[in-house]
């Protein structure tokens, strides 16, 4: 609705050129035409949350449709609206962030996305509450948000037009006389689930007639490679390795932009073509043929298969091991019950702080939260001689009704010498971006933001190409790193996590240094491969995974509204943190 003025302005300009009947038709088709022309829509990602509830976003719902997408475990990404241009989305973003959120604009590309056959049966005004219960007999629900004022409700998808038309008759019999069949870009469909309906998943009743209805209209599934060849769509790289690595958790890799010409895609194409995995042209565009070429590499490269099998083995071995304190707090959102048990048995004062946090986000007793957090503070700071003591009175009993104050005091706890070995969990910044950033960015001689250690953000490390690259690097690096190398690696890991959470564009000089580093790094690796057989054996596989990871990282940063050139610099900065220390032995 933020871009209505733009639509009206355009319609008034064209009204002087078109007869009235054509003008009315033009206004009706304008939203679809504009989207088709742009080949993209924009949405606002409000944030990533643990078990979010629609009621938590009541203050912004009258202005636009709020919906979620599953992320991992109990996490979900929550989005607001859909916009035809970035300017309108940014205008809306300003209004949303004034409500206390820390969202950002995200682009959804429509180019080459497959189409789906659906039945549209009704529309709903954005500002009005939706009675989802009244639609339960229609079938699986999706929304289309191409109009700024209304939600289009559809059901499906269907395998063919005949099945869809038959379904229309049933839906019309339910009272939706205007139901009709349409074809829609799948990237414009948003599934309506428990979050949108305001349903508690635990209380959900799955034994409904909806399952029967859905079984009549299931879409015939194609393999990712078939889609790539038929539609020129980059495939999902995790799904391509499912034959090798079936136990890998699904990671949330970004969608690759096929229409961006880039050096990383060209470098990848050269490698794939040289090794007979790729038959397309060397054009620097990551299209369907490049995706198929990478899949051919994954399916047939012996070194890749070796490390994929090794990763399966390591994952199974790790599953039975006990967790140390750092692992417990890192996994707190995913395993709250087991983490809470482990924390309650741990005698560290910091353990009490995370018990308090767990209670706080789950609506626990405030008195118990205060008791645990104040005890953690006193046990950490009371009667201790600490240089540059934290700028608060640790003898006072605080009441933690506000997350910002809680996170600020948690920051001080982490910076205390007794807790220096433990890193801040990355998920704190993901779940509470605004409060966490404010707390950890606040000036303090006691706890420097620049020296804050953040534990690994799994969104990068769990991407399959990066994970496989790290498996190879683990084999190539020296058995025992020196103390200086370990310290440097810890600093680089923390820097990588900051780039994931709070990316900052490289200046012109930094970008030039990074570009030169890339050239020098691979020149040295090529040279050393002749001296070190183990490197030579893994070099091609390492390079392919490096450039595939670079492409994905560039799209991650472009999703955050960085230009392709800026995204390239950020992607290389991240990759440098993975390879610099472990492989520096081959540069000597």
Give the model confidence (pLDDT) of 256-313 as tens digits. Answer: 999 999 999 999 999 999 999 999 999 999 999 999 999 999 999 998 988 887 766 5
Measured distance CA(498)–CA(510) in Å, rounded: 17
User: Which residue is it, tokens 């559809």?
Assistant: 154
Measured distance CA(235)–CA(230) in Å, rounded: 12
pLDDT higher than threshold 60 for residue 206: no
pLDDT higher than threshold 50 for residue 210: no
Could you tell me the pTM of the whole model?
0.51
Supply the CATH classification number for the domain 1-110. 3.30.70.1070
Measured distance CA(462)–CA(468) in Å, rounded: 9
Q: What percent of the chain has pLDDT over 90?
A: 34
Nearest to 142 by CA among 119, 114, 168: 119
Confidence of residue 12 (pLDDT cuts 50, 70, 90): very low
* pLDDT tens profile 409-445: 998 888 888 887 888 888 888 888 888 877 776 555 5
Neighbours of 310 (CB within 10 A): 15
Local structure of 247: helix, strand or coil: coil
Measured distance CA(458)–CA(462) in Å, rounded: 5
Measured distance CA(422)–CA(134) in Å, rounded: 51
Cβ–Cβ < 8 Å for 427, 71: no
pLDDT higher than threshold 80 for residue 316: no
Task: Name 180's Cβ contacts closer than 8 Å, sequence gap at least 6.
Answer: 119, 120, 168
Can you list the alpha helix ranges (DSSP code H) found in 242-364? 263-274, 288-300, 302-319, 325-330, 336-345, 349-361
Secondary element (H or E) of residue 117: strand 115-125
- So where are the chain's domains? 1-110, 113-221, 223-300+456-588, 325-441
Residue 237 confidence (pLDDT): 30
148 vs 176, more confident: 176
Residue 564 confidence (pLDDT): 95
Confidence of residue 208 (pLDDT cuts 50, 70, 90): very low
416 alpha carbon, distance to own chain's centre: 32
Quick one: average pLDDT of 14-35?
44
Confidence of residue 393 (pLDDT cuts 50, 70, 90): confident
415 alpha carbon, distance to own chain's centre: 29
390 vs 183, more confident: 183
Q: What percent of the chain has pLDDT over 70?
A: 78
pLDDT higher than threshold 50 for residue 10: no
pLDDT higher than threshold 70 for residue 43: yes
Residue 38 confidence (pLDDT): 57
Quick one: average pLDDT of 175-191?
91
Residues 221, 225, 226, CA angle at the centre, nearest 5°?
55
């Amino acid at each position: 609705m933020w871009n209505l003025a733009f639509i009206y302005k355009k319609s008034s300009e064209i009204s002087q050129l078109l007869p009235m009947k054509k003008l009315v038709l033009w206004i009706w088709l304008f939203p679809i035409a504009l989207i088709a022309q742009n080949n993209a829509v924009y949405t606002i990602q409000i944030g990533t949350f643990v078990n979010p509830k629609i009621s938590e976003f009541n203050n912004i719902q009258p202005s636009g449709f709020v919906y979620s997408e599953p992320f991992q475990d109990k996490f979900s990404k929550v989005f607001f609206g859909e916009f035809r241009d970035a300017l309108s989305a940014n205008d809306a973003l300003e209004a949303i962030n004034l409500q206390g959120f820390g969202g950002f604009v995200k682009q959804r590309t429509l180019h080459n996305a497959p189409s789906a056959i659906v039945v549209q049966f009704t529309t709903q005004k954005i500002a009005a509450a939706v009675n989802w219960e009244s639609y339960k007999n229609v079938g699986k629900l999706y929304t289309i948000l191409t109009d700024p004022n209304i939600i289009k409700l559809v059901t499906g998808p269907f395998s063919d037009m005949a099945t869809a038309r038959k379904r229309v008759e049933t839906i019309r019999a339910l009272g939706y006389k205007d139901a009709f069949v349409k074809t829609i870009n799948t990237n414009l469909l948003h599934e309506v689930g428990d979050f949108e309906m305001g349903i508690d998943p635990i209380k959900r009743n799955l034994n409904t007639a909806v399952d029967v209805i859905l079984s009549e209209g299931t879409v015939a599934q194609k393999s990712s490679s078939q889609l790539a060849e038929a539609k020129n769509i980059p495939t999902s790289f995790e799904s391509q390795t499912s034959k090798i690595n079936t136990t890998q958790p699904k990671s949330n890799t970004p969608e690759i932009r096929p229409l961006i010409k880039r050096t990383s895609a060209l470098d990848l194409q050269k490698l794939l073509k040289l090794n007979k995995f790729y038959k397309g042209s060397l054009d620097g565009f990551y299209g369907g043929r490049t995706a198929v070429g990478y899949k051919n590499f994954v399916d047939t490269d012996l070194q890749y298969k070796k490390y994929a099998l090794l990763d399966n083995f390591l994952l199974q071995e790790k599953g039975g091991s006990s967790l140390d304190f750092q692992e417990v707090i890192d996994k707190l959102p995913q395993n709250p019950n087991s983490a809470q048990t482990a924390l309650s048995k741990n005698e560290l004062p910091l353990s009490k702080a995370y018990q308090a946090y767990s209670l706080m986000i789950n609506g626990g007793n405030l008195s118990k939260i205060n008791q645990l957090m104040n005890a953690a503070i006193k046990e950490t700071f009371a009667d201790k001689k600490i240089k540059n003591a934290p700028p608060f009175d640790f003898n006072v009993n605080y009441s933690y009704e506000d997350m910002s104050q809680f996170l600020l005091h948690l920051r001080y706890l982490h910076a205390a010498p007794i807790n220096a070995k433990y890193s801040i969990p990355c998920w704190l910044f993901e779940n509470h971006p605004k409060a966490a950033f404010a707390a950890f960015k606040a000036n303090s001689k006691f706890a420097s933001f620049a020296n804050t250690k953040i534990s690994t953000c799994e969104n990068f490390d769990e991407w399959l190409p990066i994970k496989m690259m790290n498996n190879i690097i683990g084999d190539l690096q020296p058995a025992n790193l020196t103390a200086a190398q370990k310290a440097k690696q810890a600093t680089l890991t923390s820097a990588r996590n900051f780039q994931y959470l709070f990316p900052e564009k490289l200046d012109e000089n930094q970008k030039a240094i990074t570009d030169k580093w890339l050239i020098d790094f691979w020149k040295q690796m090529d040279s050393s491969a002749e001296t070190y057989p183990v490197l030579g054996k893994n070099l091609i596989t390492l390079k392919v995974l490096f450039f595939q990871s670079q492409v994905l990282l560039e799209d991650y940063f472009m999703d955050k509204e960085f230009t392709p050139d800026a995204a390239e610099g950020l992607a290389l900065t991240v990759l440098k943190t993975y390879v610099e220390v472990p492989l520096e032995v081959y540069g000597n």
